[in-house]
Amino acid sequence: MKIAMLARNAGLYSHKRLVEAAVARGHEIKVIDTLKVYMNITSHRPDIRYKGEVLEGFDAVIPRIGSSITFYGLAVLTQFEMLGVYPLNDAQSISRSRDKLRSLQLLSRAGLGLPVTGFSNSTQFTDDLIEMVGGVPLVIKMLEGTQGIGVILAETVQSAKSVIEALRGLNANIMVQEYIKEAGGADIRCLVIGDRVVASMKRQGAKGEFRSNLHRGGSAVSIKITPEERSTAVRACKTLGLRVGGVDMLRSNHGPVIMEVNSSPGLEGIEKATNLDIASKIIIHMEKQLKAKQTRRKRTPKS
């Protein structure tokens, strides 16, 4: 295969591992800075250009699009899709996962377990919003936050109201969620490829920290998950249309509840925690999917 990887920083662990895995399996891979791509969007002769060169001949594309450049990154990915290049995750599924509120609504409609979540534009009914999610303590999340940034634990009604009113005063979109105390500051990250969970780890927040993100000093160990947790992770990715995804969930008293589904999951934490070669599993999955696509194309009768 000739693979394009859309990534701003080729030196990140995940990106280097994917390149290593692709090369080890005999593929050609080119890392492309997403923001330096420009496009000719026409119906008769669309193309993609990079540093003065027309990008062509690619079989597959791996989107590693940072949340801060989602809009432009998805435009570039869509252009690759228009040219018939197979995407590891397509633009529509990434768009669903990046919209935290919409993704929770889709997961809820699919009957998957979620923490009780409230969303409001007005601060006029903040008392009722707090009561709706079970009172305090509760978690307030900015919809644009990543890696634990913009996630606040409010332990009193007054602090919750103050934070909500302050953030809405800045026109920040937020959601309010019940605090799953029994999780003990830990969550589970399941790495889904296709219709299987290929790896899972437990992330524990640092002492005094309720957020379990590794970027915030948390630790990670391999963990054996239950059949229900496995099924929940796979269904979550299928609901959003992701072929590869990182599903974050908490163990609550009423079963697993999904916190977030990541369309570009980092590989460093989970590879080191599980000693598994996740990068190669991703490349092998792409090989199989591309082969199946080519087989279907050959079987389709020409009109």
Q: What is the CATH number of the domain that holds 135?
A: 3.30.1490.20
Inter-residue contact 8 to 34 (CB < 8 Å): yes
> How would residue 191 be classed by pLDDT, with cut points 50, 70 and 90?
very high
User: Span 73-99, mean pLDDT?
Assistant: 97
Q: Tokens for 70?
A: 């989602």
The range of the structural domain enclosing residue 186 comes to 97-112+182-283
Nearest alpha carbon to residue 287 among 3, 55, 31 = 3
Question: For residue 215, is pLDDT > 60?
Answer: no
Do 104 and 229 share a domain, yes or no? yes
> If pLDDT is split at 50, 70 and 90, which confidence band does 185 have?
confident
C-alpha 163/C-alpha 140 separation (Å) is: 8
Q: Which of 84-98, 122-136, 205-219, 275-289 is predicted least confidently?
A: 205-219
Specify whether 105 is located in the same domain as 188: yes
For residue 28, pLDDT over 60 is answered with: yes
- Asked if residue 260 lies in contact with residue 204, where contact means CB atoms within 8 angstroms, the answer is no
Planar angle of CA 43, 45, 47, nearest 5 degrees: 105
Q: 128 in helix, strand or coil? A: helix
Q: How confident is the model at residue 299 (pLDDT cuts 50, 70, 90)?
A: confident
Which pLDDT belongs to residue 298? 76
CATH classification at residue 198: 3.30.470.20
Whole-number Å distance between alpha carbons of 299 and 57 = 22
